Amino acid sequence: MRLAALALVALVAAATPGMPAAASSRKHAKRAKIHRPVARASKERLVDLVRPATPAPGPRSPDPTPPTLPSFVSVGAREFSLTLSRPLVGAGSVRIELRNVGEDPHNLVVSPEGSHSPLDSFSTLDPGLYERRTVALAPGRYQLWCSLEGHEALGMSVTLRVQ
């Protein structure tokens, strides 16, 4: 009988509107607010950020070596232009490739900029052929041009820089 009385009390307690059920109490329970302290920089720290940073003395690293410039350039010849694969090469032995990608024969002459005195000359190539040569070039600017009649005047000239 005690068991029946306890069950009746539990049933009445659950049905009473003043007392929320267990699931209901979890759903509406207040969540605790979390207070986090705000990190603020002190005046000393702000002053440190404003002052120029001085590196700590230590072993001095060697000066970085400049990147090595390429020693190869390809020259594409077509009616009526010359196109370089790169505008700048390193001084010394430079490998120059002439590729005739046009429909007419073309050749190539290498001379210091401002003069037409040839340092090296390539053969006259038929369409689809190529020729490679190694030329010793000091730092400066060089004119590469097609020496066939009228070709240079029609635009077959280009400047190569050597450093």
User: Any idea what the CATH number is for the domain that residue 157 is in?
Assistant: 2.60.40.420
Question: In this predicted structure, what is the pLDDT of residue 67?
Answer: 83
pTM higher than 0.85, yes or no?
no
What total number of domains does the chain contain?
Answer: 1
Residue 153 belongs to a domain: yes
Residue 31 belongs to a domain: no
Distance CA 112, CA 159 (A): 9
Residue 98 belongs to a domain: yes
Distance CA 69, CA 65 (A): 12
Residue 123 belongs to a domain: yes
For residue 24, the 8-state DSSP code is H
Enclosing domain of residue 116? 72-162
Distance CA 105, CA 38 (A): 79
Residue 103 belongs to a domain: yes
Question: In this predicted structure, what is the pLDDT of residue 66?
Answer: 76
Largest CA distance in the chain: 127
- Is residue 88 predicted with pLDDT exceeding 70? yes
